[in-house]
Structure 1
Amino acid sequence: MERSTFVYDGDCAFCTKCAEFIERRIPTRARVLPWQFADLDALGLTEAECTEAVQWVGADGSRAAGPDAIARLLGDSGPLWRVAGAGLRFPPARAAAWPAYRWVARNRHRLPGGTAACAVPSAQRD
C-alpha cells in the first residue's frame, strides 16, 4: 500500500461533514474516503467494521478504529494536529475517547448535519 487510508461512513451526513472538515483543514497525506467507495478487501476491512467505526489502514498495514483511527490520522498530519493526535493517544484521554466516540456514533443522527440515514441500526447499538 502506497499511502494510508482513513475510511468513514459515506451514507452518514454527519460523518461526511467531518470528512469534509478533515479534507479542508487537516493536512494529511492519507486518503479520506467513504467505505462505500473503498476496496474493503484490499484494505483488509469488512463492512461490519466500517459501519461500527471509522477505520485507519496505515501504509505499513497497521490498523486502528474509532478514536484510535482519528489519533492516527492526526498523527499523520501537520505539527499542531500531531500534538492533538498524541494527546488522544495519552492513556487517560484514550480511555475517555472510546465512550465518547460510542456515544457520538449512537447519536450521530441527532448531531448537526446528521440525518435519519446516520442512525446506527439498533442491532449494533450498545
Structure 2
Amino acid sequence: MRNATNPATLIFDGDCGFCTSAARHFEKRSFVPLTITPWQRTNLEKVGLTDAQAREQVYLFRDGELFGGHECFAELMRIQGDPFHRLVARTMRAPGIRVLSAAGYRFVARNRHRLPGGTPACEMPTE
C-alpha cells in the first residue's frame, strides 16, 4: 500500500482561471504535501507526459505513478486519509460509477470556460 503522506504534484492548466482556483483549493486543504504546478512550467518529459496530454486533462504525479482526469481526482480523495474522502475515492472507482465519473470529468473539462473563474483561455482546443 502506498504511504498516504508521500508528497504529490498536481499538474494543471495554468492559463485557466477555473483550473488554477481548483488547484489552489486542493493545495490549501490537502492532508498530504501537495505541490501544484501549471503544465506550462513543468518538465513534462520527467513525468512521462507530452504537451498534448497535459492540455487534455489534469494529472496527479505521486510515488512514480501518474493519474489523469477523473482518476486524478479519485486519487486526490484517496490520499486525504479520512474515511469520507476514501469512500468518495472508492465510489468514483467502482464499476459502473467509474464511467459516470469519467463522463462528469470530461463534461467539466469541456465547459470549464463557462464555470466561475473560467475565461476564454480555459476553452478546450477543438480537434
TM-score, normalised to structure 1, is: 0.86
Determine whether 1:16 maps to 2:20: yes
Partners of 1:8 and 1:106 in 2: CA distance: 14
Question: Alpha-carbon deviations, 1:35-88, whole Å to 9, x = none?
Answer: 1121111111111111100112221x2222100111112212131322222221
Find 1:93's aligned residue among 97, 100, 107.
97
Q: How many residues were matched structurally?
A: 121
Task: Give the gaps of 5 or more residues in structure 2.
Answer: 1-5
Aligned-pair identity in percent equals: 39
Which residue of the partner structure matches residue 35 of structure 2? 31
TM-score (structure 2 length as normaliser): 0.85
2: CA distance between counterparts of 1:10 and 1:102?
18
Q: How does 1:98-117 map to 2 (within 5 A)?
A: 98-117=102-121
Alpha-carbon distance between aligned partners in 1 of 2:35 and 2:97, rounded to the nearest angstrom: 26
The alignment partner of 1:31 has SS state of strand
- Confirm or deny: 8 A CA contact 1:30 1:73 kept in the other structure: no
Q: CA RMSD in A?
A: 1.6
Mark the runs of 5 or more structure 1 residues left unpaired by the alignment. Answer: none
**Residues in 1 aligned to 2:74 and 2:49: alpha-carbon distance in whole angstroms:** 18
Q: Which residue of 2 aligns with 1:70?
A: 73
Higher helix share: 1
The whole-number CA distance in structure 1 between the counterparts of 2:62 and 2:75 is 8
Work out the CA distance in 2 between the residues paired with 1:74 and 1:28: 11
1:56 to 60, 78, 100: 60
Q: Work out whether residues 27 and 78 of structure 1, in 8 Å CA contact, stay in contact via their aligned partners in 2.
A: yes
